[in-house]
Amino acid sequence: MRYASRVRLACWSFAGLLIGCGSPEPLPAFAHPQGPVARSASAPVAAASAPVAPVAPVAAASAPVAPVAPVAPVAPVAPVAPVAPVAPPTSGSATAADPHPTAAEDAPAPLPSGFVAVPQPFDDDWKPVRCGKLQVVNVRGDERVFEPFVVVTDTTTGKKVYEAHGRRVEYEPGTVSRMSLTADICGDLTGDGVAELLLTERTMGAHCCYTHYVASLTSPSKLIMTWEKGDSGDGVWPVKLKPGKVWQLESVDRVRPPFDVDEGDPSVSYAGVPGFPIVFDLVGDTYHKRTFAFLDGLRKERDAARAACARHPHCEPYELREWGMALLLDEWDREKAKIVPDSELRAVLDKRARAMKAKLRAQLGG
C-alpha cells in the first residue's frame, strides 16, 4: 500500500523529536525490568536530617526501598554563580530534530528566570550550583559503577538538608544494582517560596527506563510528583500555560497508534511512534497529568512548531503526529485534508480517530 510505505519511512518530527527510520515490525508493549510500571512513589527521596539504616537488596517487583544510609556529610562548597541554563527540549522548536540547525532564532528557549540547570555528574561542566540559599550537586559516587545520587546543602548553615539515591533493582538472581538518580532542574515550581527539584531515575538501558520525580525541599522533604515514564528520555521542564504562581511541567510521551496490520493498517516501527506533549499541573499538593486542560497553550506551541518547520528546507511534518495533535486539539475534521493529502491513509486515520483520541486522553491525562 502506498500509505504504509510513507508512514514507515517518515524520519522527521518537527516538534523537537528525532524520529528515525527503523524496522516496520510493531514492537511489543513496554516491559520494565522491575515488572509493571505502576510502582510506589514513596522513594527514592528523603530528608537527610538523620541517617537511615542500610536495607537489604529487594526483588525487582517489590516496592521501592528507602534510601541507604547517607554517605559522609558533604563539606560546604563556596557559593558559585549559577551555570548557564541547559536549554530544555521544547516542543515548539525544530532545532532538536535538525542535527545542523541553520537559524539561531530556532534555538530552544532557556529555562525561565528563577530556575537553574544542575550539571550531570560526568559532564564537562559538572559542579555544584546555587538554587537560592541552597547548593545542589549530583554526586558522582564510586566511579567504578555509575550510581550517582543527589545532595543539597544549606549554604547559610553548611548543613546537608537533603540526600537521595536511586532504588535498588535485581535484574537477575544475584545481580543487584542501584539505579542512577540525578537532579536536572531546581527552582520554585509551586510558588510557595520553597525550591523544588526535578529528578530523573534511570536504569541505564538502551533508551529505557526513566522515572521522573519532583521533590519539594520542605522540612521534611516530600515527593509531589512521580511519573513512571518508561521508555524515552525526553526530560521534563517548567512551562507557564495559565496565569498564576504555579508552574506547569511539560515533557514528551510516545503514543502508539491503535493500528491493526491484519486489517490493512500501517505498520509503525518503534522509531515511528509519534511523540506528543504531556502536561502536568498541580492539583492540591501534587502534580497530575492534565494535558487536555491546556489545549490553548498547546495549540500555540503546535503553531510555533509548524512555523519553525517551514523555515527549514529539510523539515517535513510527520503525518502521524499531525494527526494525533489535530485529534488532541479537536481540529481533525477541519484539517485532515491538508494534513494528510493521501486519501488512502486519510481513510485509515479517520477509521482509527476515535480510538486514537481515547488513547491520547488516557495516556496524556484529561
Has residue 271 been placed in a domain? yes
Helices (H) and strands (E) in the chain, counts: 5, 16
pLDDT of 230 reads 82
The domain of 229 spans: 33-83+119-234
Inter-residue contact 266 to 8 (CB < 8 Å): yes
Structurally, how many domains does the chain consist of? 2
Which residue's entry shows cell 523529536?
Answer: 17
Beta carbons of 151 and 140 less than 8 angstroms apart: no
Within 8 A by CB and 6+ apart from 357, the residues are 327, 328
Q: Do 18 and 73 share a domain, yes or no?
A: no
**Of 234, 266, 293, which closes a domain?**
234
CB count within 10 Å of CB 109 equals 13
Assigned domain for 51 exists: yes
**Of the residues 187, 205, 234, which one is the last residue of a structural domain?**
234
What pLDDT digit, counting tens, does each position of 285-330 carry? 999 999 999 999 999 999 999 999 999 999 999 999 999 999 999 9
For residues 205 and 135, membership in a common domain is answered with yes
In a domain, 241, yes or no: no
Q: What predicted TM-score, i.e. pTM, was given to this entire model?
A: 0.72
Whole-angstrom Cα Rg for the chain: 22
Tens digit of pLDDT at every position of the chain (366 positions): 434 333 333 333 333 333 333 333 332 222 232 222 223 333 444 443 333 333 333 333 333 333 433 334 434 434 433 333 333 433 333 333 333 333 333 344 689 999 999 999 888 889 999 999 999 999 988 777 778 999 999 999 999 999 999 998 887 888 888 889 999 999 999 999 999 999 999 887 666 789 999 999 999 999 999 999 888 778 899 999 999 999 999 999 999 999 999 999 999 998 899 999 999 999 999 999 999 999 999 999 999 999 999 999 999 999 999 999 999 999 999 999 999 999 999 999 999 999 999 999 999 998
Measured over the CA atoms of residue 225, residue 229, residue 230 and residue 234, the dihedral's sign is negative
Q: State how far the Cα of 309 lies from the Cα of 258, in Å rounded to an integer.
A: 27
User: 230, 250 in Cβ contact below 8 A?
Assistant: no
Q: Minimal CA–CA distance to 268: which of 18, 29, 25?
A: 25
Residues 150/101, Cβ–Cβ less than 8 Å:
no
Rounded CA separation 90/88 (Å): 6
In a domain, 287, yes or no: yes
Same domain assignment for residues 126 and 180: yes
